[in-house]
Amino acid sequence: MSEQTPHQNTTFPLNGAGTGEQTGHGYLALPESGSGPGVIVIQEWWGLTDHIKDVTDRLAASGFVALAPDLYGGSITHDGDEAGEMMSKLPAEEGARLLAGATDHLLGLDAVSSATAGTIGFCMGGGFVLAMAAQQGDKISAAVPFYGVGQGVPESYAGVTAAVQGHYAEHDESYPVEQAREQEEQIRTESGAEVTYFYYDAGHAFHNDTNAAGTYDPQRAQLAWDRAVTFLQEKVA
């Protein structure tokens, strides 16, 4: 069964068309300095879990103002079947609306020193990272999908202006590496944006140190994380 996550400490308005809640919720972490470039962190299909909170805190420790929107409205799960069901019940357009509201809110914060936002996400969140890059245009300067899957993955990347750094696994049963390589080339061809994909001798969700899928790889997770943080520091301004 799903659980209620405690990792909500901020709200933001959801503007534009659509139904459902008009207020979004999320977890916001500030750097020690009190200000820095803005980054949106997008959850896996498990929800806004301890792991995603920890990722957000780690980005804040690296100097970012990091906001993780709660795409499930407070529910988390540790069961794969339930996670799949929860993900399937999140329409791509509703996820996009939540993320658009979160981006506008983040960029409007006094603590955010950048005119653009970076995005980083994992599994389902990686798919929504690519959707944000395609839909938000110049608001997003850096997009970092980790093994992005799910309904958030866009069909077209023509709207991408952000630099893209992808992290994908060579033994990913959820998103075969051949598809990842095709995705990499599609983004490059359709957008003309700067695109760099890294491929790791690992399985899906290799970055998740709670080992929720049994595929956590500490060495490759650290390598990917270091690359991602450096990329965000270079691109988000």
- Total number of domains in the chain: 1
Q: What pLDDT is attached to residue 17?
A: 43
The two structure tokens encoding residue 142: 């850096």
pLDDT surpassing 60 at residue 187: yes
Cβ atoms within 10 Å of 142's Cβ, excluding its own = 27
The two structure tokens encoding residue 99: 């993320």
CATH of residue 112:
3.40.50.1820
HEC string of 56-122 equals HHHHHHCCCEEEEECCCCCEECCCHHHHHHHHHCCCHHHHHHHHHHHHHHHHHCCCEEEEEEEEEEE
The two structure tokens encoding residue 177: 């590496």
Q: What pLDDT is attached to residue 2?
A: 45
How confident is the model over 208-215, as a mean pLDDT?
A: 92
For residue 15, the one-letter residue type is N
The CA distance from 107 to 84, in Å, is 31
Q: What pLDDT is attached to residue 231?
A: 98
Distance, C-alpha 116 to centroid of its chain: 15
Q: What pLDDT is attached to residue 20?
A: 52
Decide which of 141 and 91 is more confident: 141
Answer yes or no: are the C-beta atoms of 140 and 121 closer than 8 Å: no
Q: What pLDDT is attached to residue 124?
A: 94
Place of tokens 């653009």: 116
The CA distance from 39 to 52, in Å, is 13
User: What is the domain extent for residue 24?
Assistant: 3-235
Q: What pLDDT is attached to residue 205?
A: 95
